[in-house]
C-alpha cells in the first residue's frame, strides 16, 4: 500500500523533486565560488563571509519551495477526485494520512540528501581562510528541518477541509482588516508586527528559517 502511494506521489511531483534536488546540490557549490583565493588575507575572508551571507538567503527559500511543492501535490489529486480513492480503501483516516505523509517524507529526503552531498563537496573544494570553518552537516540538518516544517505545514493545511481553510483565511483576514480599521481610526498599535515576530522567533514555527544559514562562518 505504502509503495503504491509513494509511486503515485512520485508521478505527481517527480519532476519538481528532480529540479529541487539539482538546485539543492548546486546551491552550496555556488555559495563557495569566492572561496578559491590562494593565501587569503583577512579582507578576502570578510569578502567571502559577505558572499556566503548573500547566498545564505537562498537556503530557506529553497526549503520553503520544496515543502510547498510536496505539501500541496500530496493532496491535489484527492481534492480533484473528491476523495473517492481514499474512501474506497479499507483504512482509517489517520492511517491514510500517515501513508501520504510518509511518502512525502521519503520524497523530501532526496533534496535533503542532495544538499548534504553538495555541502560536503563544496566544503572540501573551498579554500577556507584561517579562523573560518565550514558547517556542511549543520547546514544540511537545518535545511532538512526547515523543509520538514514547511512540508508539514502545507500538508496539514492541504489535508484539511475547505471549511478549515476558510477558518484559517478568515482569521488572517479579520486581523488584517482589524489592523486597517484601527490604523484608519488613528490608532498607533501595530497588531500584525508582533504576531509576525512571534511566528519567526523562538518558539515560533518559522524560527528555523530566519538567521544566518552560513556554510562558512567563524
Partner 1 sequence: MCEPRIRCVLVRSAAVLSVLLVVLPSGGAAQSADTYRERVQRLEQRLERLTAEQERRAEAMPPVELDTLRVGPVRLLTPIPVQSFVTAVAAQLRDSLRTSLAGDTVLLPPVNLLLRPRGPRTAARPGLDRLEVQGVHQWFYREEESRFQQADIPGPVASGLLDVIRLRTRVMLDSTLSLWLENDIAFDSLTVIQAQTAYLELAIKPWRIVRDCYEGRLDRCRDALALGRQSVITWYTADERRHVVETAREWEPRLGEDPRAQQCAVGGDDHACVAVLEAYPHVLREPLSALTRQSLLRIALQSGGTGAFGRLVRSDTLAVLDALATAAAVPADSLIARWHRAILAARPRGTVLTLGGGWTAFVWVVVLGVAAMRSTRWRIR
Q: How far is the CB of 75 from partner 1 (least distance, A)?
A: 8
Residue among 11 and 212 whose Cβ is closer to partner 1: 212
Give the E-state strand segments of 20-127 in sequence order.
Answer: none
Residue among 15 and 89 whose Cβ is closer to partner 1: 89
Q: How far is the CB of 177 from partner 1 (least distance, A)?
A: 25
- Grid coordinates representing 18 are 528532480
Residue among 18 and 42 whose Cβ is closer to partner 1: 42
Q: How far is the CB of 89 from partner 1 (least distance, A)?
A: 11
95, containing H or E segment: helix 93-125
Angle value at C-alpha 139, between 136 and 144, nearest 5 degrees:
120
* Closest to 151 measured CA to CA, from 94, 200, 105: 105
Q: How far is the CB of 215 from partner 1 (least distance, A)?
A: 7
Cα of 162 vs its chain's centroid, Å: 24
Residue 151 neighbours by CB under 8 Å, 6+ apart:
66, 67, 70, 71, 104, 105, 108
Give the E-state strand segments of the chain in sequence order.
Answer: 133-134, 216-217
Residue among 51 and 97 whose Cβ is closer to partner 1: 97
CA 180/CA 207 separation, integer angstroms: 27
Q: How far is the CB of 121 from partner 1 (least distance, A)?
A: 17
Residue among 46 and 176 whose Cβ is closer to partner 1: 46
Cα dihedral 134/140/142/144 (nearest 10): 180
Binding residues (CB under 8 A) for partner 1: these are 41-42, 45-46, 49, 56, 78, 82-83, 86-87, 93-94, 97-98, 101, 129-132, 135, 138-139, 141-142, 145-146, 148-149, 152-153, 155-156, 159-164, 202-203, 205, 207-208, 211-215, 217-218
Amino acid at each position: 500500500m505504502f509503495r503504491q502511494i509513494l509511486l503515485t506521489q512520485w508521478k505527481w511531483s517527480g519532476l519538481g523533486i528532480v529540479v529541487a534536488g539539482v538546485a539543492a546540490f548546486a546551491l552550496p557549490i555556488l555559495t563557495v565560488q569566492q572561496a578559491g583565493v590562494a593565501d587569503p588575507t583577512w579582507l578576502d575572508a570578510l569578502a567571502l563571509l559577505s558572499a556566503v551571507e548573500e547566498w545564505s538567503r537562498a537556503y530557506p527559500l529553497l526549503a520553503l519551495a520544496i515543502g510547498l511543492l510536496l505539501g500541496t501535490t500530496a493532496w491535489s489529486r484527492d481534492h480533484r477526485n473528491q476523495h473517492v480513492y481514499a474512501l474506497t480503501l479499507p483504512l482509517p483516516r489517520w492511517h491514510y494520512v500517515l501513508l501520504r505523509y510518509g511518502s512525502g517524507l521519503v520524497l523530501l529526503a532526496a533534496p535533503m540528501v542532495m544538499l548534504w552531498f553538495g555541502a560536503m563537496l563544496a566544503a572540501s573544494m573551498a579554500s577556507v581562510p584561517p579562523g573560518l570553518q565550514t558547517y556542511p552537516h549543520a547546514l544540511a540538518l537545518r535545511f532538512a528541518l526547515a523543509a520538514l516544517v514547511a512540508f508539514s505545514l502545507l500538508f496539514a493545511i492541504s489535508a484539511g477541509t475547505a471549511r478549515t481553510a476558510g477558518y484559517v483565511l478568515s482569521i488572517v483576514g479579520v486581523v488584517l482588516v482589524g489592523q486597517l480599521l484601527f490604523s484608519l481610526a488613528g490608532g498607533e498599535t501595530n497588531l500584525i508586527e508582533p504576531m509576525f515576530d512571534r511566528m519567526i522567533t523562538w518558539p515560533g514555527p518559522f524560527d528555523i528559517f530566519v538567521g544566518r544559514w552560513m556554510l562558512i562562518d567563524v
